Amino acid sequence: MPRKLFIGVGVLVGLLLLGVVAVLFLIDANDFRPMLQTKLEQQLHRPASLGQMDLKLFPLAIRISDAVVGQPEGFASQQPFLSAKQVYVAVAFWPLIRKQINLHAIRLESPRIELIRNPDGAWNYEIGGTKPSEGGSAGTFSLDELRVEGGQVAIDDQKSTSPRDVYKNVDVTLTNLGPNRHGSLLGSVRLDTMAAVLKVSADFENTDPFAAKGTATLKSDNNKDPLEITFDIRGGAQITIDSLTAKLGALSSVVSGSIDTQKTPPELQLAVKAPNAPIADLIRVAALYGAKVPQDLKADGLLQADVMVTGTTEKPIFSGKIEATKAQITAKDLAEPVRSSELEIDFTPDSLTTHPFTLETGGTRISAQATITGYSGTAPQISATLQTNGARVEELIRIASAYGVKPAGLTGSGTVNLDMKISAAGKTVRYSGSGSLREVSLASPDLPKTLTVSTANILFSDDRIAFDHLQAGLGSMHVDGAGSLRDFGRPRIQLDVHVDQLNVAELREWGVGGGKQQPLPDSGFFKKVSAAGTVTIGKILYDQIVLSNVKASVNLADGLLKLDPVTALVFGGQESGAITADLGTAAATYSIKAKLSNVDANQLLSSTTSLKNVLTGALSGNADLQFTSKPNEEIARTLNGKLQVQMGQGRLAGVQILNEVASVGRFLGYSKKPEAFTNIVKLTGTLNIQNGLASTNDLFLDMGGGTLSGSGTVGLVDQSLKLRVTTVLGKDFAQSNVPGQIGGLLSTVLANQQGELVVPMLVGGTFAQPKFAPDAEQMANLKLRGLLPTATNPGALTSGIKGLVDSMTGKQRDVKPDETKSGDNVQDSIINLFDQFRKKKDGDKK
């Protein structure tokens, strides 16, 4: 009988379960979407939308896809308050059968949560902080459990200037949410900026005021010991910290007080105590918060702190004392440890003052003391003293490295003496005292070469640092003299120095003075620095150009370096004028306005253009030129401006112009000169240069036996020639060198009234292979105008045409010395000449 009873009860229970399952299968979860969506909107006071819904039996829950909960009124954001691909809502069975929703737990998978504090100071997670929509009911929000798995939480504090922070891999479980409930929190979050994981475990009372107790553990990837924090806090209009204890290794500090988060920025009222805290553990805490600390750095010593912190989070105010004893720092790069005497810092609401203290390593000892007043204000004032006697540079670098202020890769040697005071208020810094450098050597990746200072005396006065008896070197450059410096932010330099040698190719390697097609390491450096004074330079080397005995007044402002006036010896002659260099660009641009005197023409052209060994002689003139400095490129390619030249005795190599004149004029019986050059008695002209192409309209050349005038272009890069020239051979030269007939008379040669031969020519080709040809157009123009140039002025038409009619008719007559012709007779002769010339051509046609 009992056995049958048990079987019957089992069957009945099974039927009931099957019935329940059957009923659940008949329920379409999507029918609950409007009800659940409305409930969420009423309780959360913000819009909500739900995607596809289906029923999950074990455990009983509704699975919602693509759930989105928007921001409440008064919160501006493009991101919703919450969005999740999958949400599981645990519901009660019997209300569900009656088609009612009674949710008691929610699980969010990989949600994105946007926490916002608006400009009024309200947070969007404060459920009761906003009014429900019209017609809704506020209700009472209560939940047994809220679980977030693999979420992302962003915090956007619009009331402060803090940037929006995003935290990933958030796992949180909250229990017993709702008014007047005792709940708990268990969670973890990955802090990528700190390379650490924060875990929190707490119990809370959701009352007014809110209260929470618990622990927080911060475990860094780079530290085996975690930072452990225990806390007991109460929240409301302000957060009250009944106790907060932080421990890491042997380090322990206690904080109590309050933080008023309703104020912006939050106001502080905290007491901080750290008795006998190991400095090593403090450094480890700093590393946890992202400070870059060398892995091999070791610190010994103890720190004691008893400080009250008031003010705000942005401008805290301190009262109390911090003491450090037996401090010592060692590291792999430190040959010897860096030690500090006892350091005491007294805090008052207005000032921070250190007692006199020392830092030492090896045989170097630095004594210092500092006071900062108004440190919490907008314009703190600093007063400090610094003394050292015979300190070794390498040991000073060691001290700087120990405290994290050494530039990477900096090494050095030598001795330093300092006795100075520093005072600073805002951007104004003033100095007083003196110092000296002896046999100092510094090497760094930021320096192109090792910087050496054999000797230098330093005087500090107000905002000025002056130096004299300076003897320094950088690369092949050595400097001695005196100067001063003001304002490290925008340095202003006054100098009176001598430089033995300045090599522009070396400067290019350092990224100074152009040539490199990339910005300088600090592209604004020359924009910030200004300088003025005098400088003498023994030698300036610029590619093949050598300036020696340079004397100049220097001015540097806004990246523009001016040497004005400047004098120098160059190419065996002298230069005086002004040189300007724009150093604020990747490729520096140079401008030269100078007077040249007795400069070797061949050296000048060979050094700046492609014309090598073409022109020899002593050249003078005036230059107004500009060019851009580019490595392995002739100056001529970027050369622009104007050059006016005069030259006396010299030579033009590669061509004998008189021989070319004889060929064009078809001089019968002319004996060609054997030399492959043209003697120059005088050469003048003005060249207008554009990107290495020089044009002229006043070229004059005196060759001894004749003169030449011309216009056209000369290529300083490709050596091209495109000139129209007129050569006038003197009467004596023509009589002695042209014994026979002139085959080109009237076609390529004319004779003026002085008995001089005029030969217009076109010159093409290159300097290496010049080509001379008759200029038919110019011949026709001269015949038409009836005027010719003379040997003394080959560029102007000042003489009539001699014997033109007689030459055409075959008549020859002698002109008496006292015989003259009027202008009308010359003009009539020209008209008759062309009439006869036309009749002759008509007769030839018949």
**pLDDT given for residue 738 in this prediction:** 83
188 contact partners, CB below 8 Å, separation of at least 6? 169, 170, 171, 172, 197, 198, 199, 200
Spatial distance between the Cα atoms of 743 and 759, rounded to a whole number of angstroms:
12
Residues 625 and 561: beta-carbon distance below 8 Å: no
pTM over the 0.85 mark = no
Which residue ranges of the chain lie beneath pLDDT 70? Answer: 1-29, 57-58, 92-103, 127-141, 285-296, 333-335, 402-408, 488-489, 508, 510-526, 802-846
Q: What are phi and psi of 18, to 5 degrees?
A: -60, -35
**Helices and strands (H and E) in the chain: how many:** 13, 47
Give the pLDDT confidence score for residue 414 in this predicted structure. 93
- Residue 714 confidence (pLDDT): 96
For residue 82, what are the β-bridge partners? 69, 113
pLDDT at 127: 55
Torsion angle of C-alpha atoms 824, 830, 835, 841, degrees rounded to 10: 180
- Helices of type H across 579-656: 601-608
Q: Which amino acid is at 311?
A: G
Whole-number pLDDT of residue 441: 93
**Torsion angle of C-alpha atoms 410, 414, 419, 422, degrees rounded to 10:** -20
Beta strands, E only, 92-238: 103-109, 112-117, 143-157, 165-177, 182-191, 196-205, 210-220, 227-235
Instruction: Quick: pLDDT tens for 433-492.
Output: 999 999 999 888 877 789 899 999 999 887 788 999 999 998 889 999 999 988 766 788
Distance in angstroms (rounded) separating the CA atoms of residues 423 and 463: 10
Give residue 94's pLDDT: 60
Q: Which two tokens stand for residue 443?
A: 């090497």
Strand partners of residue 568: 575
DSSP string, 655-699: --HHHHHHHHHTBTT----S-SEEEESEEEEEEEEETTEEEEEEE
Q: Could you tell me where the beta strands, DSSP code E, fall in 796-843?
A: 799-800
Domain segments of the chain: what residues?
A: 26-130+139-235, 476-638, 645-802
Helix (H) or strand (E) holding 467: strand 464-474
Q: How far apart are CA 708 and CA 681, in angstroms?
A: 11
Strand, helix or coil at 734? Answer: helix
Ordered DSSP codes for 10-50? HHHHHHHHHHHHHHHHH--GGGGHHHHHHHHHHHHTS-EE-
Helix, strand, coil tally for the chain in percent (to 5): 20, 50, 30
User: Coil, strand, or helix at residue 779?
Assistant: helix
Sign of CA dihedral 347, 353, 357, 358: positive
* List of E strands, 703-782: 706-715, 721-729, 750-751, 757-765, 770-774
